[in-house]
């Protein structure tokens, strides 16, 4: 049996220890009993961002705004990626309008912007929407 991975719950932010071989078994949070790895992007805010950076799975953040046409067009692609990458990478959406301070801290200059975090640190950044095959290829280049 492999070492357990630490994964924050997208609902209560509690850290969960989950064996790597069980990531595909729809693990539930020990605290709130919600699904720890949903097949959809989680909503990131100023309040939960630091907690969601913790853990052993990479976190891909889509910074967007409701008035942005390319952001709206990219949303279904990002949701598809979340389903395909379930258990390998967590995907989260950060509304730059609702969280301007956090967007500023992240140095967001254009949207949509994708930021990949591993071990709590930014490891890659990509601006602009892209088709699903290109997004998955970019993530493979980053070791996801």
Q: Could you write out the DSSP letters of every residue in 10-50?
A: TTT--EEEEEGGGTTS--B-TTT--BSS-SSPEEE-TTTHH
Question: CA-to-CA distance for 85 and 96, rounded, in angstroms?
Answer: 24
Instruction: Kindly name the residue from 9, 29, 32, 71 that is annotated as catalytic.
Output: 71
Question: CA-to-CA distance for 48 and 116, rounded, in angstroms?
Answer: 17
Instruction: Kindly name the residue from 9, 12, 29, 68 that is annotated as catalytic.
Output: 68
User: Is 32 a known active-site residue?
Assistant: no
Active site residues: 68, 71
């Amino acid at each position: 049996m492999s070492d357990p991975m630490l994964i924050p719950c997208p609902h209560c932010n509690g850290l969960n220890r989950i064996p790597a071989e069980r990531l595909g078994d729809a693990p539930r949070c020990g605290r709130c009993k919600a699904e720890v790895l949903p097949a959809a992007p989680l909503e990131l805010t100023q309040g939960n961002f630091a907690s969601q950076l913790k853990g052993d799975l990479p976190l891909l953040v889509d910074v967007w705004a409701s008035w942005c046409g390319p952001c709206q067009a990219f949303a279904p692609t990002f949701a598809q990626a979340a389903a395909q990458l379930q258990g390998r990478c967590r995907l989260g959406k950060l509304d730059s309008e609702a969280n301007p301070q956090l967007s500023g801290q992240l140095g967001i200059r254009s949207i949509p912007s994708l930021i990949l975090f591993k071990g709590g640190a930014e490891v890659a950044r990509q601006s602009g929407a892209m088709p699903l095959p290109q997004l998955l290829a970019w993530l493979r280049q980053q070791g996801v």
